[in-house]
Structure 1
């Protein structure tokens, strides 16, 4: 029998992790092994295809074009995870690090990576295994966010984000809307996180 949520959450998985985009991540195969090591009899996952296309890649009809003429869409994958007698589903975006994937850089590897990430995240949410890794990622490695950053982003901050995105061929509008926001509702905290992601990837000040 699989151990309890609290028992699995207390397992230190960091020694099994690797680095990607500056964050620790648990490889999917090791995640499967750890579940079996801690009582699971059956562990598997499978893609849930888009019913309209039969493809593992789910995509929006709306396309977005950046300043260089590159297009992209909102791309996602959806999987079904089976652990013993329980089933879970998880849908996640297909991303290039912190950036949306452009049509000209979409690949089977990116789709596969998205599904693997969905599996590990689904396991963390539903069993507790590796959950604290996601806490760190969601916090953006920042243990404290001042209340001032919860205010709406200033026009100057938004302009800086847009200019940096344009200089690197990032579709800023797509980035904001894919997170359920608009430029009018973007907060200082969210703008700071966007700038931090750009700096981390491209070294911008």
Structure 2
């Protein structure tokens, strides 16, 4: 019999984790093993196909085009997880790290990675195993982010922001005015946020 939610949440899974995008993640196969090691008899997951296409990739009809002409749309996968006599479902986006997947870079591997991530997250939400890893991700714990976010933005960061805005045809002055910010007094945190928005919404791989 599978251990309780609290017992599974108290298991230190960090020693089984790997790093991705600066965060710890639990590989799906190790997640299966740990469930079996802690009382589960049956553990499996399977894709739930899009009813309109029969594909394991779910996609929106609306496409989005960036400044370079690359298109993407909202891609997702949905899976069904079975643990002993219980079934759960989880739907998650198909991502390229923190960025949306462009149409020209979609692959079966990205679809597979999305389903694996959905499985581990579904297990964490419903059984407690590895749940605290997701707490850290939601809190944005990343050692690469500067801690002194109120300090004046560095010259390299300002230069990078100006260059990226120019390459993506973004009016930097108008953007700053909308938020009542000035380039002369921009902080590390504000500059980092703006660079992140540019990368997520307009960046390539």
TM range (shorter): 0.7 to 0.9
> Following the alignment from structure 1 to structure 2, what is the Cα–Cα distance between the partners of residues 190 and 88?
40
- Structure 2 runs not aligned, ≥5 long: 143-159, 170-177, 180-188, 200-205
- Is 1:8–1:128's contact at 8 Å kept on the other side of the alignment? yes
Q: 1:191 to 1:51 in 2, by over 3 A?
A: farther
1: CA distance, partners of 2:76 / 2:195: 24
What is the RMSD of the two structures over their aligned residues, measured on CA atoms? 3.0
What pairs with 1:81-120 in structure 2 (closer than 5 Å)? 81-120=81-120
Q: Where in structure 1 are there 5+ consecutive unaligned residues?
A: 143-159, 170-182, 200-205
- Contact kept, 8 Å, 1:49 with 1:57, in 2: the verdict is yes
CA shift digits 1:166-190 (9 cap, x unpaired):
8479xxxxxxxxxxxxx99xxxx99
Q: C-alpha offsets along residues 45-92 of structure 1, whole Å, 9 cap, x if unaligned?
A: 000000000000000000000011000000000000000000000000
Distance, in Å, in 1 between the alignment partners of 2:162 and 2:102 is: 17
Q: Which runs of 4+ in 1 moved over 3 A?
A: 160-169, 189-199
1:196 shift after superposition: 5.1
Deviation digits for residues 125-154 of structure 1, max 9, x if unmatched? 000000000000000017xxxxxxxxxxxx
- The alignment status of 1:60 with 2:49, answered yes or no, reads no
Question: Structure 2: how far apart are the matches of 1:140 and 1:52?
Answer: 36
Structure 1, residues 5-53: CA drift from partner, whole Å, max 9, x if none?
A: 0000000000000011111000000000000000000000000000000
- Check conservation: 2:11, 2:129, Cα contact below 8 A: yes
